[in-house]
Amino acid sequence: MRKARLEDMTRGWFIGNFEPVVLRTDAFEMGVKKYKAGEKEERHYHRVASEVTLIVSGRVKMNGVTYVEGDIVALDPGEITDFEAVTDAVTAVAKLPSLMGDKYLTDD
């Protein structure tokens, strides 16, 4: 049995093909991300990976659409998104596969 602390992980990511990690795999990445109201992620897309975000708590906006606790947003490769925490929020995010460098910033 292994034990780790979320705050010791990089930006909440704890499974994937990177360090630090609790379980190393190139199959997928998993993270729990905490945001303060007003925090943002830049517009980006993944060429290879799919990404699924569960809104655990709070309210967020992605591409101008508001999502609330319990909403699940799935993005296919090539789909562009941004992110803004409207309130304090927690998300659980899975990205498949775990592929370093597959995040591309865009102004589109």
pLDDT digits (tens, 9 = 90+) for 7-29: 999 999 999 999 999 999 999 99
- On the question of pLDDT at 5 being above 90, the answer is yes
Query: Side chain identity at 74, as an amino acid letter?
Result: A
Q: Would you place residue 108 in the very low, low, confident or very high pLDDT band (cuts 50, 70, 90)?
A: confident
Q: Measured between alpha carbons, how far is 47 from 57 in angstroms, rounded to an integer?
A: 28
pLDDT digits (tens, 9 = 90+) for 25-77: 999 999 999 999 999 999 999 999 999 999 999 999 999 999 999 999 999 99
Q: Measured between alpha carbons, how far is 53 from 57 in angstroms, rounded to an integer?
A: 12
